[in-house]
A and B are shown apart, each in its own frame.
Chain A
Amino acid sequence: MKKQTLILLTSLIYFLPIMPLWASTIAGNIQAPKRVKKIIVYLEKADGSSTDNQPQTHTVSQKDTHFKPELSIISTKDTIEWINNESKEIDHNIFSLSPLNNFDLGLGEKGSSLNENFDKDGILNYYCSVHKKMEGKVVVLPSRYYQVLEQPAAFQIDHVPAGQWILKAIVFHRRYKAEPIKITLGAKPVNNITLTIKKR
């Protein structure tokens, strides 16, 4: 009996650092000047490692010579599928020159779909080489723990595994920048965090 207990305790000590035993909530408020509008609050592992996301596919429609939505928020390992939903016979191309991921998916006819996978986190712009007003943006986040806010407000990110995290924000107004906060999350929720956004 004593031997079994010892084995159980040894296993727990061994696996404790790599197995999140609890999932909890990180919540708080965004403090920012009035000019700041859209924000993505997100969590990144403190050691820079990737979270175990199950890859997902996100759809962008090409309709009336526009990308809909123009902004895609995804996580690393995810795929975007662009579907040509034009009512007329209009072809579209998708390309990006971003250092994050440069690609040219060729020409897609009405009804067709084109795919691209995103492995690195960051922000990239993409275009259709045929139509001048067709521009889109992809935000690739390092985890799936995030919240999109249309203006500075209270935030809450649920089901976050216990561990060391860094709370960050993507501020679309480039004049401003968020100050990251290191957070240790255990079994209990971490509330009342204030993420400050300041002028650069």
Chain B
Amino acid sequence: MNYLLLSLLFLLSACAQAPKIIAHKGAVFGTVSTEAHIEFKQKIANKNTAETNYSTDENGIEHHPDRVNYQHLDELYVGLIVPDYTSQTHNITVSSDQLNPHSLALSIGDTLHITNQNTSTQYLFISEINAEGFQAIPDLKAGQSIDVRLTLEGDLELLSEDNHKLKSILFSKKNMLTKKFSSGQRYQFENLTPNHYQLIFWYWRLGKITQTIKIDAQKNTRVDKTLSVNILH
């Protein structure tokens, strides 16, 4: 009886993970996660290590406040390049010591809805990280919002003229529909016309992984991906 119940639960969870099948359409889904450097993981796995810096709890790593907690990273983005893209709007808030979100994946042509929660006017701009490209943003008065259409593509930064703490890292690509997740969460893009698509996984500190996928009618394609420094090897 217990086995039957367990099997039923397993079947139910498996069904819940896959997107709903739509006639003549397909979907892609999976889990996006991040993990620590492989050498760091190996060191933690070595229980005989004498180093007091490496202590573990029942869940794995005991995380010090100054360490990157790869099991709980936010702002992981999954992007899908779609031919029939409709521009999206993304909210950004400006406070006294940060821009929220800290990172944002979006499409060229998308709108940034920027709200100034400060008591002073903000002078923001967008700059390419590895090139000279630049986009000016009109002055944003205290308490006001502004809509800015992104004209740059690639690795970018949204910056402030007079407060270096205000920084948001942007990754922009043409026709890229994006969704934001936390490490270990499930993503999905459904109702897709059968074709080949580009799927992009990005975290600002760990770079991006691009994969071409084939979407078939009445089928769900599963792509799980882990972002790590190890992608450099």
Query: A residues near B, CB below 8 A?
Result: 35, 65, 88-91, 93, 95, 97-100, 102-104, 106-107, 122, 127, 129-133, 173-175, 177, 200
Tell me whether B52 is interfacial, beta carbon within 8 Å: yes
Do residues A103 and B232 form an inter-chain contact, with CB atoms below 8 A? yes
- B39 and A97 form a contact (CB under 8 A): no
Q: Which of A91, A100, A104 contacts B130 (CB 8 A)?
A: A100
Contact A107 B40 (CB under 8 A): yes
Given the interface pairs A65-B66, A88-B53, A132-B67, the reply to whether A107 lies near B39 with Cβ below 8 Å is: yes
CB contacts (< 8 Å) of A127 on chain B: these are 205
7 nearest CB pairs, A to B: A107-B39, A89-B51, A97-B207, A174-B127, A129-B229, A104-B232, A200-B134
* Contact flags B32-53 to A (C-beta < 8 A → 1, else 0): 0000110110010000001111
Docked-complex contact A35 and B53, CB < 8 angstroms: no
User: Which residues of B does A touch, CB under 8 Å?
Assistant: 36-37, 39-40, 43, 50-53, 66-68, 125, 127, 130, 132, 134, 157, 159, 161-162, 205-207, 229-230, 232-233
Query: A177 and B162: CB pair below 8 A?
Result: no
Complex: chain B residue closest to A128, CB-CB = B68
A35 — which chain B residues lie within 8 A by C-beta?
A: 161-162
Q: Which residues of B contact A91 (CB under 8 A)?
A: 40, 43, 51, 53
Are A88 and B52 within 8 A (Cβ)? yes
B67 — which chain A residues lie within 8 A by C-beta? Answer: 130-132
- B12, chain A: closest CB distance, angstroms: 38
**Distance to closest chain A CB from B178 (angstroms):** 19
| Selected contact of B232 from candidates A97, A131, A174, CB within 8 Å | A97
CA distance A173 to B40 in the complex (A): 35
Known: A89-B53, A174-B157. A130 touches B125 (CB 8 A): no
Residue of A nearest to B161 (CB): A175
Known: A89-B53, A132-B66. A107 touches B43 (CB 8 A): yes
Residues of A within 8 A of B127 (CB): 174-175
The CA-CA distance from A110 to B205 in the complex, in Å, is 24
Bound complex: CA A95 to CA B228 (Å): 11
Q: Could you give 18 example pairs across A and B, Cβ below 8 Å?
A: A89-B53, A93-B37, A93-B40, A95-B37, A103-B232, A104-B37, A106-B39, A107-B40, A130-B36, A130-B37, A130-B40, A130-B67, A130-B68, A131-B68, A132-B67, A174-B157, A175-B159, A200-B132
Say whether, besides A95-B232, A104-B232, A129 and B66 are in contact (CB < 8 Å).
no
* Cβ contacts under 8 Å, B50 to chain A: 89
B132 to chain A: which residues have CB within 8 Å?
177, 200
